[in-house]
Chain A
């Protein structure tokens, strides 16, 4: 009997930013929403995040950044996934991200950005409705 489909999420903290509360809150929150969440820990380089996403075959890569380095780090991850042939993986981000950066990030292939105060439920619903892979 085929298993029902489980959404797999890689929750990653790129760069040197040490604010991990948001990533942890989201890791537990998405688990409670029925997803399998792989947490890779602090201070990941974009290429490490890409390799982990490939091996774990996740539906979604979640990037959390509160240090301001998202303009560089987020697009690197999208680019890496594309180079490795995994362009169908959804990439979303959150943390302290200025409104005016969002159009830039979307243009670089980040599917959505969620700021402080977003309820986990809203993020979970977005993932369920938009994860590209079947």
Chain B
């Protein structure tokens, strides 16, 4: 694909347009993903999550500066929520990253969550791969800070940074279940405010009690992102985590799992989409749907009628075969 070749040769315009295709789940996506595949594996993916307003964007901005000073290139994916009412979104993370706008070594893309219920848009995984193929050394992903449904960032990132603020002290008990388990690194940001040390201590205590795998003990750092304090240390911890992942073989294990997951998922999506299309066109199904709608049959019995109807299923398969 020409656009992919241009992107691989360094065209940011092509990269931007490929991201749009992936975001839109365009028909070209399998081809795009297939052709960038040989160019993957260089980037380290770092996810940032935590409550809204905790300073994630500011931290990403400062960390990017640290990485640039060391000569690394950076890709940033900054996510904000889609309004459930209008389907629109305000994407404002970029405002905090202005110092990098003209730096060719930094590519920033804002994404809305669109249909996804977690903190990460469904297309985000594809987008970070594009940034990897584009040759970025680090890809930093800022999620929507929703607190509970953060598991998808853990699956997509190599290193997950959970950003908390002193005010979060009270809520930490309730967050424990989700956020504590996914963190590879804890950051207590806004340490210029009261309570940061206390929260840090509380976190350490909690971590000591939890029984996580032993090759990595999540460190707790305090930062003041606006004053650029603690960002160098954060960088070093990310680097250290990366080394541990590599040396223990966990990184390649993760990649294996990810590839497997994507394979299954893509097949699932493909089958589902095609089947749904056929089903929508099928008069018999529509008739059942109407009966279910009116309450004449219960949804379960009606679906069993369909799922056990061999002629119906075979008809769809034959239709699929003809369309190929």
Residue positions of A touching B, CB distance < 8 A: 1-3, 5-6, 27-28, 30-41, 47-48, 51-52, 54-57, 84-86
From B27, B98, B107, B115, A48 is in contact (CB under 8 Å) with B98
| A47 lies within 8 A of B89 (CB) | no
Residues 1-39 of B at the A interface (beta carbon under 8 Å): 12-13, 16-17, 19-20, 23-27
> A56 vs B19: C-alpha distance in the bound complex, in angstroms?
9
B92 within 8 A of A: yes
A-B contact pairs, 9 of them (CB 8 A): A1-B276, A34-B87, A37-B89, A37-B90, A55-B16, A55-B108, A57-B17, A57-B19, A85-B13
Min CB distance B51 to A, Å, is: 21
Whether B94 contacts A52 by the Cβ 8 Å rule is yes
- Rounded to whole angstroms, the CA-CA distance of A86 and B14 in the bound complex is 10
**Residue in B16, B24, B94, B102 whose CB lies within 8 Å of A2:** B24
Which residues of B sit under 8 angstroms from A57, Cβ to Cβ? 16-17, 19-20
- Chain A nearest CB from B37 CB (Å) reads 22
Give the A-B pair count, Cβ closer than 8 A.
Answer: 90
Contact of B109 with A by CB under 8 A: yes
Quick check: is B175 within 8 A (CB to CB) of the other chain?
Answer: no
What is the bound-complex CA distance between A1 and B23, given in angstroms?
Answer: 12
B91 touches A37 (CB 8 A): yes
Q: Is B88 an interface residue (CB 8 A)?
A: yes
**A3-B26 Cα distance, complex, nearest whole Å:** 8
B198 CB-CB contact with A under 8 Å: no
Chain B count of residues within 8 A CB distance of the other chain: 36
In the bound complex, CA of A37 to CA of B87 (Å):
11
Q: Which residues of B are found within 8 Å of A36, using beta-carbon distances?
A: 82, 88-89, 91, 110, 112
Q: Does B273 contact A (CB under 8 A)?
A: yes
Nearest Cβ distance between residue B144 and chain A, in whole angstroms? Answer: 14
Mask for B253-274, Cβ within 8 A of A = 1, else 0?
0000000000000000100010
CB-based nearest A residue for B277: A1
* A3 adjacent to B23 (CB under 8 Å): yes
In the complex, whether B227 has a CB less than 8 A from a CB of chain A is no
Q: Quick one: which of B20, B86, B108, B109 contacts A34, CB cutoff 8 A? A: B86
Question: Hey, which chain B residues are within 8 Å of A32, CB to CB?
Answer: 83, 85-86, 88
A30 to B112, CA, bound (A): 14
Which residue of the partner chain A has the closest CB to B82?
A36
Closest to A52 in B: B101
**Residues from chain A with Cβ under 8 Å of B94 in the complex:** 38-40, 52, 56
A1 to B107 alpha-carbon distance, docked (Å):
28
Q: How far is the CA of A30 from the CA of B89 in the complex (A)?
A: 9
**Are B95 and A47 in contact, CB atoms less than 8 angstroms apart?**
no
Instruction: Contact check, B91 vs A54: say whether CB atoms are below 8 A apart.
Output: no
**With A1-B273, A3-B24 in contact, do A33 and B88 touch (Cβ < 8 Å)?**
yes
- Residues from chain B with a CB closer than 8 A to the CB of A52 are 94, 101, 108
**Interfacial residues of chain B within 86-124, with CB under 8 A of chain A in the complex:** 86-92, 94-95, 98, 101-102, 107-110, 112, 114-115
Min CB gap B32→A, angstroms: 14
Residues of A within 8 A of B16 (CB): 54-57
Question: Given A37-B89, A37-B90, list of 4 further CB < 8 A pairs?
Answer: A1-B276, A40-B95, A48-B98, A56-B108
The CA-CA distance from A100 to B188 in the complex, in Å, is 55
Which residues does chain A contribute within 8 Å of B109, judged by CB atoms? 55-56
With a 10 A CB-CB cut-off, give which of A37, A48, A86 has the most chain B CB atoms. A37
